[in-house]
Amino acid sequence: MAKSQQTFNKSEKEKKRLKKREDKRKKMEARKAEKEANGGSNGIQFAYVDHNGNLVDTPPDPDMKKKIDSEEIVLGVPKKEEGEQEDPIRQGKVSFFDTSKGFGFIIDSENNEKYFCHVSGLKSQIAENDKVSFELEKGMKGMNAVNVTKI
């Protein structure tokens, strides 16, 4: 006589699956009934943006609208004027320099920015707290001080 393929565990899983499906159907019907009771509205159907950029449910007042000329909008970075040429030689103070490793940092006296300095960019020997003049060059991780000379 062959053993039944339907085990207790299989029948329990099937009962759970059917119960879950029935619960889901009941929840869906309850949501539909609730929606009909509320008049079919499901929150704000349209959202407007007022003159301050906030989302509101009422249309914005046309009197508050600002007229902007598209010709006045500037795209990109404005070009420098001929008289605005920046001096390439800067002055600063050596905040740290390790002669054994061959690098250090210089603090610009104009804007207090810290710039990396490598021994290959030196024109004269420098040490910590020395006043130096230098030029800036774009490096892999930012601006680097090059042509560094002690003042």
pLDDT of residue 138: 92
Place of tokens 């509205």: 41
- Cα 135 from chain centre: 31
pLDDT tens profile 2-15: 666 778 899 999 99
Q: How far is CA 56 from CA 43, 46, 66, 67, 136, in A?
A: 12, 9, 18, 21, 50
Please name the amino acid found at residue 55: L
pLDDT tens profile 36-81: 877 666 565 788 888 778 888 888 878 877 788 988 888 887 776 6
- Cα 133 from chain centre: 35
Question: How far apart are the C-alpha atoms of 79 and 107, rounded to whole Å?
Answer: 28
pLDDT of residue 76: 86
Place of tokens 């892999």: 140
Task: Evaluate if pTM is beyond 0.75.
Answer: no
